[in-house]
A and B are shown apart, each in its own frame.
Chain A
Amino acid sequence: MEGWDPNTKSTLTQIPLLTTKAGPRDGAAWTQRLKEEYKSLIAYTQMNKSNDNDWFRISASNPEGTRWTGKCWYVHNLLKYEFDLQFDIPVTYPSTAPELELPQLDGKTQKMYRGGKICLTVHFKPLWAKNCPRFGIAHALCLGLAPWLAAEVPILVDSGMIKHKDDATTSTET
């Protein structure tokens, strides 16, 4: 964990850890894991809200809890940039981490795999492997997606790859 900023570190220690090592094909054990995922996500969301650092919405889009969709956003130069967020829980979960996708950014940055999967290889995958099965979706968002947004959104905005949604109107005014 060396190299991480103290804020992320302290947030991380407050996200409840998970205990059940089970994937979507494991029946009752998966249900148990899913409960732990929810508890951890609820705690993380509450913490973000109380720290005035609310930055995503995510919910299961099927009853099995294997497909998740939502939004995430990042504020850069006082402007909020919002993106669709989606991912599947892989069959080999939690041995392998979920591959977080931002489909709207597909093809706009090199730090991304086909289909808008953000690149987690260097900054997150080793942490996930080391902390299996204690890390869950909330940890993937905190340690995988949040630093990715912080690194990539400013570059995407400054290079003109993405525009703020109000930009079309404001640019004609100025």
Chain B
Amino acid sequence: MEVELKEMLHDLESLKESLPDPSHRASIDKLRLRVEQLTSLEKSGPARRLKVKDMSAEVVDSNPYSRLMALQRMGIVENYERIREFSVAIVGIGGVGSVAAEMLTRCGIGRLLLYDYDKVELANMNRLFFRPEQVNMTKTDAAVQTLSDINPDVVLESYTMNITTVQGFETFVSSLKNKSFRPNKEGSGVDLVLSCVDNYEARMAVNQACNEMNQTWMESGVSEDAVSGHIQLLIPGETACFACAPPLVVASGIDERTLKREGVCAASLPTTMGYNSLKDYFPTMEMKPNPQCSNVACLERQQEYIVAKPARDAALKAKMEAEVLLVPEFALHADNEWSISVVDDSGLDSMDATSSDTLPEGLVRELPSADKSQELQTSEAPLTSNDDLEDLRRQLEALNS
């Protein structure tokens, strides 16, 4: 095709030169333009770009990283190319996850791990990313197809499975622990886990895995009515884990059940804490870990964080002293008419169980916490008579037959 078009251009050129009458030249030029357009269209077809060994900062149209490397020249990032060392796991390739995956791919992230058990449907076309011809592909495979076209430098791993089942969870954890991409990395095999799922069960499974692995992660969500969403950074032991407090919702002032349209049951959490675009309300809050958290791994991380406090303080002090040495010391203000002084707030750093119970105005809990009192304690009659698992199984089977 390309060769043919080139010949056509050549023919047009010779035709133009051989014509004695200059009145036809304008129409020949028009034809030539059209052929040139077709040639460029043909070139931009499915041809894939080659992998790039080193990120170049050269400002040319053909360099996929020129705009990103410019950030380095402008002093925004120190060494942009380090992005190629990083691995990010994205759980849930839906409205949020697919866009996160695409942006990271365009930025040239080193490696992406993609998790989802769903298939692409036409109903997903309201969002970015997926295309109608990908219907019936698994979301992870469709994502790998598109992402590897956009940027072949990114290492993509596709995991089609449900992370809440015992088997899926084991695969999930072992894939996060796999360090073959960067064998000398500390901790797990990934730098960040992004939870982009649409249900409480999957969020709790990500929380469980990250607490056990001491893995920093981010939780996100968009409400089913698309007007609010939330985002949360979770550092095990340092900030509240997802089980430390039941999820929060922006209080609507109306009973949620009356808001729910009859017959609709979308697969999103009905508004977890976060931004409400109708009210233009975006509360932010820091949540300390709950010392009574029901998640055992969370309590272990909390303990480690407390134990490491002296070392952390020493490192911080050393850093501050180093900074002080760099800046020549002088009084910023000669007089202090209003006796303003800076107070050390480290005393506020102690764990406070009650603080996690007070919520900013406008937020309510989505799920109640478990009662300690046994209000339904009517059948406390001990059920000890039979304690053999096989026996119990047979008893149930007998009832079932």
Contact = CB atoms under 8 A, between A and B. Distances in A.
Contacts of B169: 25, 91
A122 B260 contact: yes
B300 to A, nearest CB: 15
B400 interface: yes
B95 to A, nearest CB: 15
Q: Please list the 3 inter-chain residue pairs (A to B) with the smallest Cβ-Cβ separation, ordered nearest first.
A: A38-B392, A119-B265, A129-B367
Contacts of B379: 13-17
Given A12-B376, A25-B166, A99-B201, A129 B246 contact: yes
Interface in B382-401: 383, 386-387, 389, 392-393, 395-397, 399-400
Interface residues on B, range: 35 or more
Given A12-B376, A112-B265, A90 B164 contact: yes
B200 to A, nearest CB: 6
Most buried by A among B118, B208, B243: B208
Interface in B354-397: 367-371, 374, 376-380, 383, 386-387, 389, 392-393, 395-397
A154 to B, nearest CB: 14
Contacts of B165: 66, 88, 90-91
Interface of B: 118, 162, 164-166, 169, 199-201, 204-205, 207-208, 243, 246, 256-257, 260, 263-265, 267, 270, 294-295, 367-371, 374, 376-380, 383, 386-387, 389, 392-393, 395-397, 399-400
Given A38-B393, A113-B265, A92 B399 contact: no
7 contacts: A14-B379, A21-B294, A42-B396, A45-B399, A91-B165, A113-B267, A131-B370
A126 B369 CA distance: 9
Given A35-B392, A42-B399, A130 B368 contact: yes
Interface centre among A12, A88, A90, A122 (most CB of B within 10 A): A90
A39 B392 contact: yes
A16 B263 contact: no
B395 A59 contact: no
B257 A122 contact: yes
B371 A131 contact: yes
Contact of A17 (B166, B367, B374, B386): B374
A130 B383 CA distance: 23
Contacts of B260: 122
A66 B378 CA distance: 28
A106 to B, nearest CB: 12
Contacts of A111: 263, 265
Interface in A5-50: 12-17, 21, 24-25, 31, 34-36, 38-39, 41-43, 45-46, 49
A120 B395 CA distance: 29
B367 A35 contact: no
A114 B118 contact: yes
Contacts of A58: 400
A50 to B, nearest CB: 11
B371 to A, nearest CB: 6
